[in-house]
């Protein structure tokens, strides 16, 4: 095999590994979201996805504010 074939093989292996890891991470994220949502429903709290998104945005904004004040 020459250099071009090695590079092509490396690229294909890298893409396959990346796709596999990405798929596993998406699955873990989906399962965690579903588990958290089901716990809210078990406790009788009606949660809309818009409310969840707003809470996430608020949390990110607070985290960024803390980083700015610490810096």
Query: pLDDT of 4-58, one tens digit each?
Result: 999 999 999 999 999 999 999 999 998 988 888 888 788 877 777 777 778 778 8
What 3-state DSSP class applies to 15?
helix
| Phi, psi angles (nearest 5°) of residue 44 | 80, 15
Residue 4: the pLDDT is: 93
Cα 28 → chain centroid: 8
Query: What per-residue confidence (pLDDT) applies to 66?
Result: 75
Go through the chain and tell me how many residues it has: 71
Band the pLDDT of 71: cuts 50, 70, 90.
low
* pTM of this structure: 0.56
């Amino acid at each position: 095999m020459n250099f071009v074939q090695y590079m092509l093989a490396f690229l294909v292996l890298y893409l396959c590994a990346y796709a596999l890891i990405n798929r596993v991470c998406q699955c873990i994220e989906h399962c965690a979201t579903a588990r958290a949502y089901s716990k809210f429903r078990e406790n009788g709290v009606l949660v809309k996805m818009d409310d969840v998104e707003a809470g996430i945005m608020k949390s990110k904004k607070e985290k960024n504010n803390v980083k700015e004040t610490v810096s």
